[in-house]
């Protein structure tokens, strides 16, 4: 029986002799490498926190003591030590979430998968415990050095430090990385703390006496003046925390179990807010991950753990790579184009641009609000910034988009990767909010390309706009085949007609074009003719759309965005404004937090495949158009002949 399998709760862990802990840490690393390379998931961050997580669960009594992870992708070891050791379905439907999950365990208090939030959660938890008289309850926030670059973390620190008698332990997991190397002034200061030579720090004390414990190095603090000055002076905060008045322990070797337990024990007994600075190595124990400067092992798809090659190599080109290549080409032609991202240079496809134009590339850390307003400054200064982030993370900078960019009519292009259904990362990462949120921004223009050619074209159209914010969005997926238009009406591409006078107008947004085309052909078999269009720019609504709608009896919109306030809602309003009295039905994602599953599974469950769109549209049509059920053999000759329309042949490649 392995040691790990005998640990089903933190109580089991605390019962283990200290001498057994290195063996346990080794077994955990072996488990993670074997399990995560099979399923995919966040490998590097979790290999780096094995000893730290063990020490946390020995020093604190979860769930009575509350441990909040920032971000939650470093919680796999926490899951293992709290009774969740079946990783066979990690990040798949019905399996474990890749982040803390309240539905999985009482030990998961916060489903924390957006960075820089843990300190605010912890501040509130500590205040609640104090007000309720729960003086035996401790609150711990574990935050990476990358997440400390977020402004929200510093707002929280400012408030945490104000209450000297409120117990709260902040564990800084300092591995010098988020998705890639942490950058900026904070990173530089932490680097100084890591490398300044010294040999000891006061980590334990008795009544009137201080003992010394060796640690990795001494930070750039003033020299300690001896035990006679007592605890307060021995822990006198200096450096970046001195103005806040936070107590500081460290730096601690984050892979030394004895040092970690000692430091966390002292922090637990301090009685006020204290920072424990732990130095860890991302990917610890797995040499490919330890030595990988490109951080390819932060999150992995299923790979062979020995060769590190994909188990199922992708046979296509990703949306991200097409964007990255096209931006590089634009950059060569337009010296005024600059790129900005928030700690995601590699994931959003900016690596090639950054290599070619390092002076025109700005990674601001996990600080989306700053990224957007800094972009506003760059635009005001005469440049055209391209801000590339995940769609779900633009939510955090909505006020800056609205008031700092749009209000000033500035030419800033936002490129939203991972839009629509993302899938395995769960509710927090599905980019299903952007087209609803951005609808209310005056002057903003939003494009949703349906294929690679359209992505290239619409990116260029976006950066040509100098007097308003523009947005280009695309999913995390492999790009499918080109979807040609048979004509363009105004700014709207017509993709297919299945009759001379079609009854239904199918308005597809971005990648839902494929589902719309499949649905139109299925509807034809049900006796309904349709026109399939792609508006290309979905905000503002093109004036051609109401005109097209007026020639049909039913309009159905299809988008991989929440149904509330999205593109379909905007089109319905545009029709009303144009006095076009045609019923509109909106198909999209339900306004729910969708659980983790494969992208295809979620699209099928939410009715956004060709079959789903056809079934829902047929139901609408039968009700609204009062069309009786008709067997195929009784359909009129006109409907049967529609199957052989010349323009249908032009789209047969897509159907295959």
Alpha helices in 529-598 (DSSP H): 544-549, 567-577
Q: Please pick, among 282, 284, 418, 648, the residue that the annotation labels catalytic.
A: 282
Element (H, E) at 516: helix 513-525
Q: Structure tokens of 454? A: 């359209």
Q: Does the annotation flag 500 for ligand binding?
A: no
Report the DSSP beta bridge partners of residue 508: 558
Q: Is 242 a catalytic residue?
A: no
CA distance 192 to 199: 15
Distances in whole angstroms, Cα of residue 480 to Cα of each of 302, 325, 514, 613: 22, 17, 9, 19
Q: Structure tokens of 340? A: 């900005």
Nearest to 237 by CA among 225, 221, 251: 221
Q: Is 368 a catalytic residue?
A: yes
Phi, psi of 612 (to 5 degrees): -65, -45
Q: Please pick, among 284, 396, 473, 539, the residue that the annotation labels catalytic.
A: 396
Q: Does the annotation flag 146 for ligand binding?
A: yes
Is residue 455 within 8 Å of 319, Cβ to Cβ?
Answer: yes
Cβ-based neighbour number of residue 462 at 10 Å: 24
Q: Does the annotation flag 286 for ligand binding?
A: yes
Distances in whole angstroms, Cα of residue 313 to Cα of each of 308, 436, 478, 481: 12, 35, 12, 18
Tracing tokens 């100098």 back to the chain, one arrives at: 466
Cβ-based neighbour number of residue 610 at 10 Å: 19
Residues 6+ away with beta carbon under 8 Å from 563: 569, 586, 587, 588, 589, 590, 591
| Beta pairing class for 384-390 and 337-341 | parallel
Q: Does the annotation flag 368 for ligand binding?
A: yes
Three-state DSSP at 145 gives coil
Number of continuous H segments (helices) and E segments (strands) in the chain:
26, 20
Residues 6+ away with beta carbon under 8 Å from 651: 483, 484, 486, 495, 496, 517
Residues 6+ away with beta carbon under 8 Å from 430: 392, 420, 421, 422, 423, 589, 594, 602
Q: Please pick, among 51, 368, 503, 559, the residue that the annotation labels catalytic.
A: 368
Q: Does the annotation flag 73 for ligand binding?
A: yes
Q: Is 396 a catalytic residue?
A: yes
Residues 6+ away with beta carbon under 8 Å from 481: 451, 653, 654
Q: What does the angle CA 137 – CA 140 – CA 145 come to, to the nearest 5 degrees?
A: 170
Nearest to 37 by CA among 224, 402, 309, 255: 309
Phi, psi of 202 (to 5 degrees): -75, 115
Buried b (16+ CB within 10 A) or exposed e, 412-435: bbbbbbbbbbbbbbbbbbbbbbbb
The separation between the first and the last C-alpha atoms of the chain, rounded to the nearest angstrom, is 52
Q: Does the annotation flag 116 for ligand binding?
A: no
Q: Does the annotation flag 175 for ligand binding?
A: yes
Residues in binding site for Mg(2+): 145, 175
Active site residues: 282, 368, 396
Residues in binding site for thiamine diphosphate: 73, 113-115, 146-147, 175, 286, 368
Residues in binding site: 73, 113-115, 145-147, 175, 286, 368
């Amino acid at each position: 029986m392995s040691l790990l399998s005998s640990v089903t709760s933190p109580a089991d862990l605390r019962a283990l002799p200290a001498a057994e802990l290195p063996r346990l840490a080794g077994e955990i690393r072996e488990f993670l490498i074997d399990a995560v390379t099979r399923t995919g998931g966040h490998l590097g961050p979790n290999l780096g926190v094995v000893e730290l997580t063990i020490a946390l669960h020995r020093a604190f009594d979860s769930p009575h003591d509350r441990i909040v992870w920032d971000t939650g992708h470093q919680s796999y070891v926490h899951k293992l030590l709290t009774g969740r050791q079946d990783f066979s379905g990690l990040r798949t439907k019905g399996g474990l979430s890749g982040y803390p999950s309240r539905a999985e365990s009482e030990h998961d208090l916060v489903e924390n998968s957006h960075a820089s939030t843990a300190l605010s959660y912890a501040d509130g938890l500590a205040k609640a415990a104090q007000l309720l008289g729960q003086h035996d309850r401790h609150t711990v926030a574990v935050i990476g050095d990358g997440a400390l670059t977020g402004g929200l973390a510093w707002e929280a620190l400012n408030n945490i430090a104000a209450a000297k008698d409120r117990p709260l332990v902040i564990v800084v997991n300092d591995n010098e990385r988020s998705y890639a190397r942490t950058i900026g002034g904070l990173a530089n200061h932490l680097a100084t703390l890591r490398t300044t030579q010294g040999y000891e720090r006061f980590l334990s004390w008795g009544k009137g006496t201080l003992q010394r414990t060796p640690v990795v190095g001494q930070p750039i603090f003033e020299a300690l003046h001896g035990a006679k000055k007592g605890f307060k002076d021995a822990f006198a905060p200096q450096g970046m925390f001195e103005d806040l008045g936070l107590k500081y322990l460290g730096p601690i070797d984050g892979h030394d179990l004895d040092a970690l337990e000692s430091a966390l024990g002292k922090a637990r007994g301090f009685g006020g807010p204290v920072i424990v600075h732990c130095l860890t190595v991302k990917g610890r124990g797995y040499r490919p991950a330890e030595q990988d400067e490109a951080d390819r092992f932060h999150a992995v798809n299923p790979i062979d753990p020995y060769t590190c090659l994909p188990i199922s190599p992708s046979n296509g080109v990703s949306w991200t790579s097409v964007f990255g290549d096209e931006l590089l080409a634009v950059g060569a032609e337009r010296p005024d184009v600059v790129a900005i991202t928030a700690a995601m240079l590699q994931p959003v496809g900016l690596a090639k641009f950054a290599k070619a134009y390092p002076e025109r590339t700005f990674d601001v850390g996990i600080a989306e609000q700053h990224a957007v307003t800094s972009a506003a400054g760059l635009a005001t200064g005469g440049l055209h910034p391209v801000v590339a982030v995940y769609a779900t993370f633009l939510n955090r900078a909505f006020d800056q988009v609205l008031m700092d960019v749009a209000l000033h009519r500035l030419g800033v292009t936002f490129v939203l990767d991972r839009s629509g259904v993302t899938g395995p990362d769960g509710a927090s990462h599905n980019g299903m909010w952007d087209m609803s949120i951005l609808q209310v921004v005056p002057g903003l223009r939003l494009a949703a390309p349906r294929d690679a050619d359209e992505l290239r074209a619409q990116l260029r159209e976006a950066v040509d706009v100098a007097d308003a914010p523009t947005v280009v969005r695309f999913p995390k997926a492999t790009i499918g085949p080109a979807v040609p238009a048979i004509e363009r009406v105004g700014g709207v591409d017509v993709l297919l007609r299945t009759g001379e006078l079609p009854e239904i107008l199918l308005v597809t947004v971005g990648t839902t074009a494929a589902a719309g085309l499949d649905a139109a052909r299925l509807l034809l078999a049900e006796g309904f003719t349709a026109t399939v269009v792609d508006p290309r720019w979905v905000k503002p609504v093109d004036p051609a759309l109401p005109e097209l709608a007026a020639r049909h009896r039913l309009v159905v919109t299809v988008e991989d965005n929440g149904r509330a306030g999205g593109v379909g809602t905007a089109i319905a309003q545009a029709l009303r404004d144009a006095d076009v009295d045609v019923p509109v039905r909106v198909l999209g994602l339900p306004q729910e937090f969708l659980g983790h599953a494969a992208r295809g599974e979620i699209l099928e469950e939410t009715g956004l495949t060709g079959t789903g769109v056809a079934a829902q549209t047929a139901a609408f049509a039968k009700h609204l158009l009062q069309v009786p059920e008709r067997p195929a053999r009784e359909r009129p000759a006109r409907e049967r002949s529609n199957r052989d329309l010349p323009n249908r042949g032009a789209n047969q490649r897509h159907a295959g």
